[in-house]
Structure 1
Amino acid sequence: MASEIDPSASMAALFGARLRRLRTSAGLTQAELGRTVHVVSTRITQIERASGHRPTRELARALDDALGAENLLVDLWPHVHRETFPDWSRAFMERSERAVAIGEYAAHAVPGLLQTEDYARALLRVGRSLKDEEQLEERLAARMARQERLGSPDGPALWVVLDEAVLMRPVGGAAVMRAQLARLLRTAAEPHITVQVLPFRQGEHRAMGGSLTVLTLPDGSEAAYTEGADSGQLVEEPGEVKAYAETYDLLRSHALPPDMSLDMIRTAMEGTHRAARVPSRSERRRLAQEQLQQPGGWQLRRGGPRAPRRRPRP
């Protein structure tokens, strides 16, 4: 008889223990369950023992359906994959999964919510906290899964400011980068997603040195998250969050308007990029007002467009 796994050892161990209990209650062997969800029996063994690759979201859903678990395994799955990331990023991930509006300034790379799989793999591969290829695939699966909420009916409004450096750095090589830029152009056409570019010619600014995210939660409160190459910090103290939100508003007001930003992304994708002509303050104001007059235009606050606050669902 296989030794019992300690469910308190990790979320993967808890998932495995719950799966084993559900399987035995259903009177199924590992081989029988594997055939039902179209995987080999050793895959079921690995999951139950919390060894090897963690289950994908699709496999967790298939196991849940096969065992009539009423979403128990599906609900556990995000917590299992969150363990593959450093401690300092987990609290931020939990809050971002609940956010109704997300504002991001990306200094070095396309934000995870908008990354292609190949682009994400290239970035994750160079992470200093990465242990091996197995963990790489686990982190990649978790990142891709988080993108699903962006397209759901209750997904967040997303406003992204990309530093011009993000467009110029060919992460993964030329082909991967072209596909990533094309993805940005497609997603920016969605009514709840806005993309701007902060050109080099705008010079220095308050967020230099790292990326910044401002989250609006269902109760109307906000949290800020700053991140460098190997560390991150979640900020929830209202005064500090307000200061970061003001910094983010300034970045948006200094960035190119959305239409001009998409033109810059397009020229970068086509290999015809040139340094941006930064519009004057009066031109930016005029372009912003034109943007606001379009269907779904967002209100200005502190001189820059601000993501809308959604009322919590009853």
Structure 2
Amino acid sequence: MANGSRQAAWEFFGAELKRRRENAALTQSELGILVFVSGGYIGQFEQAIRKPQADVAQRLDTVLQTDGFFERLWKKLIKEQPYDAYFAHVVELERLATAIYQWAPSVVPGLLQTREYAQAMFLAGNPLANDEYIEELVSARMDRTKILKDATRPVYWTLLHETTLRIPVGGPAVMARQLEHIATLTRGRKMVLQVLPFSAGAHPEMGKLMTLMEFEDAPPTVYTEGVSSGSLLDEPAVAKRKWASYDLLRAAALSPEASLALLESAAEDYRRCASTT
């Protein structure tokens, strides 16, 4: 399903939600209370600005007595897009965010990956996959990176653990170009970069990639990701704790200037290594 067709389908989802809500004589706020989201979220679902998660679609069916309609439509729309179901909603939120803050303990975040780096990562996880399948995955990831090139791009702040700079994903030449790409974005003021050095020792959020997003007219959201799984957290108390952890990481990290210098030094090491192999 093409992007335009998928958006039209989500607009149909929203129009049906509005029609059935009004038939039930419920306001957006009243329906929101019944399905455990804000009335503002219901309005954004109806306008196809935000997409509900699976459990919300299920509760909509229960409250509006629609015999599984919204859950079935949700599953169809999620299935016919290039991302795993657990991650599809995050991609939609990235496009809406006014600010994105990421913590990466071991792997370069998808929004920063070069095509070669992404290909190496997908091959590592799918060693028996054919080239066509790998290319589909890589293309979908590259499509996400376009938000950093848009005129309305979000504020983007990335914290990388030094481990991320030292694991030679794809080999020295690929890593050299990957780190050069991040340096170019940083020098071009497309992002703020900080690196947490090995010398910082123990730190919060040691294991999982973490993404914090802010929006113009919705509460902030936190996404944490492990191996083939992810959790989207928008409960206020949980989100507040994750933001506090991110602030601690920023405080312990190198300054943006020192971080860029360390990254460029690592890139030069990879270039020298590539030239001798």
Q: Check 1:200–1:249 CA distance in 2 against 1; reply closer, same or farther (3 A cut).
A: same
Give the match for residue 262 of structure 1. 260
By percentage of residues, which structure has more helix? Answer: 2
Q: CA RMSD in A?
A: 2.7
The 1-side partners of 2:197 and 2:181 are apart by 20
Instruction: Extract unaligned runs of 5+ from structure 1.
Output: 1-10, 19-78, 273-314
CA contact (8 A) 2:104 2:159 kept: yes
More displaced, 129-138 or 159-168?
A: 129-138
CA-CA distance at 1:268 after TM superposition: 0.6
CA contact (8 A) 1:215 1:224 kept: yes
CA contact (8 A) 2:160 2:195 kept: yes
Give the match for residue 109 of structure 2. 111
The 2-side partners of 1:194 and 1:82 are apart by 34
Deviations 1:95-146 (A, max 9, x none): 1111110000011111111111101111122235996433321121111112
Which secondary structure state, in structure 2, belongs to the residue aligned with residue 246 of structure 1?
helix
Give the match for residue 193 of structure 1. 191
Give the match for residue 35 of structure 2. none
Give the match for residue 201 of structure 2. 203
Which residue of 219, 222, 233 maps to 1:221? Answer: 219
Normalising to structure 1: TM-score of the pair?
0.59
CA-CA distance at 1:87 after TM superposition: 1.3
Correspondence list, 1:83-122, <5 A: 83-122=81-120
Which residue of 126, 136, 139 maps to 1:138? Answer: 136
CA contact (8 A) 1:199 1:255 kept: yes
Give the match for residue 161 of structure 1. 159
Which secondary structure state, in structure 1, belongs to the residue aligned with residue 213 of structure 2?
strand
CA contact (8 A) 1:103 1:213 kept: yes
Amino acid at match of 1:243: R
The 2-side partners of 1:97 and 1:158 are apart by 12
Percent of pairs with identical residues? 37
CA-CA distance at 1:218 after TM superposition: 2.2
Q: Check 1:224–1:128 CA distance in 2 against 1; reply closer, same or farther (3 A cut).
A: farther
Which secondary structure state, in structure 2, belongs to the residue aligned with residue 97 of structure 1?
helix
Aligned residues: 202
The 1-side partners of 2:258 and 2:98 are apart by 26
Q: Check 1:131–1:168 CA distance in 2 against 1; reply closer, same or farther (3 A cut).
A: same
Correspondence list, 1:120-131, <5 A: 120-127=118-125
Which secondary structure state, in structure 1, belongs to the residue aligned with residue 96 of structure 2?
coil
CA-CA distance at 1:229 after TM superposition: 2.0
Q: Check 1:183–1:240 CA distance in 2 against 1; reply closer, same or farther (3 A cut).
A: same
Normalising to structure 2: TM-score of the pair?
0.67
CA-CA distance at 1:82 after TM superposition: 7.1
Which residue of 233, 241, 246 maps to 1:248? Answer: 246
Amino acid at match of 1:185: A
Amino acid at match of 1:191: R
Amino acid at match of 1:97: R
Instruction: Extract unaligned runs of 5+ from structure 2.
Output: 9-76, 271-277
Q: Check 1:132–1:218 CA distance in 2 against 1; reply closer, same or farther (3 A cut).
A: farther
